[in-house]
Amino acid sequence: MAMTGDESRPWWQEGVIYQIYPRSFADSNGDGIGDLRGITQRLDYLRELGVDGLWLSPIHPSPMFDFGYDVSDYRGIAPEFGTLDDFRTLLAEAHARGIRIVLDLVLNHTSHLHPWFLESRSSRESPKRDWYIWHDGRGGGQPPNNWQAAFGGGAWEWDEATRQLYLHSFLVEQPDLNWRNPAVEQAMMEIVAYWLDMGVDGFRLDVINWLVKDEQLRDNPTKLLGRRPYDRQRHIYDRNRPETIDVVRRLRALVDRWPERMLVGEVYNEPPGNSSLSAEYCAGGEGLHLAFDFSLLYASWSAEDFGRVIDTWDGLLPEPCWPTWTLGNHDQRRILSRYASESNRLARGRVASTLVLTLRGTPFLYYGEEIGMLDVKIPRARLQDPLAKAYWPLPVGRDPARTPMQWSAAAHAGFSTVEPWLPVHPEYTEINVERAEADPGSLLHWYRRVIRLRREEVALRRGTYRRLPQGSGVLGYVREHEGERVAVLLNFESRPRPAALPTGASWRVLAASGHRVGDRIAGGTIELEPDGVLVAKATAPQARTLGSEARGRAAAGR
Ligand code: GLC
Ligand code: CA
């Protein structure tokens, strides 16, 4: 095997990361709530799936107004999820299987019950007063500016006892920290160090681009269109302030003192321009290792739209920056509920997963997508998400994608022995892990196969990305590394479409609908099945062909 001096790449670039919503993954003690022991018990399933890292949504003590995104103790474990010992066991057992653990870190705000905030609100003279963003009202008790809370209403809450207002970008129960105060940064850096010392492999940084607010608290400019008042503002003074990137750089410098640790930031921005704003957080390799920009998540199901956002995000992140790809998380509707109907679920699940797993960048999967879990319709009486309650009956709630993992056809889908905190999908006897494992044609087996391909094919992990021109409905690209080429063709339409496989080589099928693994296909026009997929590797590449392609690439300016 040729040594290039480039043999080792960090795990977070080559690996696949799987997000767990701990409350809904596996309940080990029969209280209807998922927990850390439940996750530990399912590690072999995750190893079998082939993932390299787990991102756990917040597991710290919290009054759970926002299900853990309102932290009241950054060094502990929420009792409903277990103990610190349970966490150490999970970490050790995961590491023993080569699986890393990434914690979710909420730096922008704490719970209103965090001791820091209790102290801060106790009096204007409190030494922690300036840890949060307090301000006098504009005459008549009016808020200091026009900022809105992302979860509804204005962003300022009046505190009668001390007769000032505090800022909350999300719920009233989530007061924003004042990152202009160095003591806040210092305290958070110590928390980061505490978990890294314990062996945690990295952090997903919640709403990281919200961190530092405009020093003068200027009004955001308004815009005409948008569903909610929040959407009718341009968030230029409450988000993406340049000082935030400085904080991110300092966080990165700290994290780099431990080997192989990783920071992935949630950098949500509205289109247009969302991806370029998100890309800035890489800071030329001195900021976040990875960032979520959400453009793929918001793309509509067409080869053209997907192709456009992929080219944009990929193009914005030349190495050492590195893209992430994801189609699902705990804030979004589930992939197949957004993009598929009953008749094409399996096929579109293959298209979506193949895309995320074969692009240049790190794939993030959301628990349950590998078995094709769907949104669950939640009756009003069982709503949990504060966003859903605030905006009922608008369909903005996040509960539908946070329901219990469907392990088997047993009662409560094998998730728990009692009725879980959110209802299980009514079709769980059909859609569950046990059944998927028994069926070689299932989506689960497809995920396992494509994840394994990433491990086997260096071109899929490290290769360059180049779009292949295609007719309508088809998205095609080639990943290439040191002469090895893997082509991916995806049909976004539910009818057969012609697709172009590069000529001058013969192709061996690695994974496909409509072809057997190992089949040989000549380059040229082929037909893709409805919602079909082809992943194939070039065999015996001819020097002349490579040469002409390189010229083509140069001409296309890539
Ligand atoms: C992020 C989280 C979301 C949470 C919010 C406030 O967007 O993903 O779940 O509600 O931040 O912390
Ligand atoms: Ca439990």
pLDDT the model gives residue 8: 82
Query: Ligand 1 pocket check: which of 174, 239, 331 to mutate, most ligand atoms within 8 Å of Cβ?
Result: 331
So what's the pLDDT on residue 545?
45
**Which CA distances in Å does 434 have to 68, 352, 405, 440?**
30, 22, 12, 12
Cα 118 to middle of ligand 2, angstroms: 29
pLDDT at 137 over 50: yes
Is it the case that residue 126 has pLDDT exceeding 60?
A: yes
What is the CA 100 to chain-centroid distance, rounded?
A: 16
Cβ–ligand 1 contact at 184 (below 6 Å):
no
Least confident span in 163-172, 213-222, 532-541 = 532-541
User: Residue 287: its pLDDT value, please?
Assistant: 98
DSSP element (H, E) containing 184: helix 182-198
How far is Cα 525 from Cα 503, in angstroms, rounded to an integer? 9
* Strand 164-167 to 134-135 pairing: antiparallel
Q: Does 291 have pLDDT greater than 50?
A: yes
| Per-residue pLDDT at 227 | 87
Mean pLDDT within 396-409: 97
**Which atom from ligand 1 is nearest to the alpha carbon of 106?**
12
CA of 35 to the centre of ligand 1 (A): 20
Look at residue 542 in the predicted model and tell me its pLDDT.
46
CB 70 less than 6 A from any atom of ligand 1 = no
pLDDT at 556: 41
Q: What angle do CA 510, 354, 441 make, to 5 degrees?
A: 70
Total length of the chain: 558
- Which residues are part of the catalytic machinery? 206, 266
Q: Is the CB of 396 under 6 A from ligand 1?
A: no
Please tell me the number of the ligand nearest to residue 168's CA.
Answer: 1
pLDDT of residue 254: 98
207 lines ligand 1 (CB under 6 A): yes
Q: Please, what is the average pLDDT of the chain?
A: 95
Question: Which ligand has the shortest distance to the CA of 58?
Answer: 1
Is any ligand 1 atom within 6 A of the Cβ of residue 206? yes
- Separation of 93 CA from ligand 2 center, angstroms? 19
- pLDDT tens column, 338-361: 999 999 999 999 999 999 999 999
Give pLDDT, residue 189: 98
CA 165 / ligand 2 centre spacing (Å)? 38
Instruction: Decide if pLDDT at 108 tops 80.
Output: yes
Q: Percent of the chain beyond pLDDT 70? A: 95
Ligand closest to Cα of 79 equals 2
Ligand 1 site, residue 314, Cβ cutoff 6 A: no
| Residue 398 Cα: closest atom of ligand 1 | 9
The CA 22 to ligand 2 mean position distance, Å, reads 10
For 440-477, how does the pLDDT look when each residue is reduced to its tens digit (9 = 90+)? 999 999 999 999 999 999 999 999 999 999 999 999 99
Q: What is the pLDDT of residues 294-349, one digit of tens each?
A: 999 999 999 999 999 999 999 999 999 999 999 999 999 999 999 999 999 999 99
Q: Specify the pLDDT at position 539.
A: 94
pLDDT band at 553 (very low <50, low <70, confident <90, very high): very low
- The full DSSP string for 449-518 is HHHHHHHH-HHHHH-EEEEPP--TTEEEEEEEETTEEEEEEEE-SSS-EEEEEEEEEEEEEEEESSS-TT
For residue range 414-423, what is the model confidence (pLDDT) as tens digits?
999 999 999 9
With a 6 Å cutoff on the Cβ, whether 106 touches ligand 1 is: yes
> Does residue 382 register a pLDDT over 90?
yes
SS3 track for 324-348: EEECCCCCCCCHHHHHCCHHHHHHH
Task: State the pLDDT at residue 417.
Answer: 98
Quick one: which of 387, 386, 382 has its CA closest to 403?
382
pLDDT at 554: 41
Give the per-residue pLDDT at 541: 52
Q: Where residue 6 falls among pLDDT bands split at 50, 70, 90?
A: low
Read off the pLDDT of residues 49-63 as tens digits, 9 standing for 90 and up.
999 999 999 999 999
Mean per-residue pLDDT, 136-156: 93
| pLDDT the model gives residue 516 | 95
Coil/strand/helix, residue 363: strand
* The predicted structure's pLDDT at residue 273: 79
Q: CB of 167 within 8 A of CB of 155?
A: yes
Confidence (pLDDT) at 395 = 87
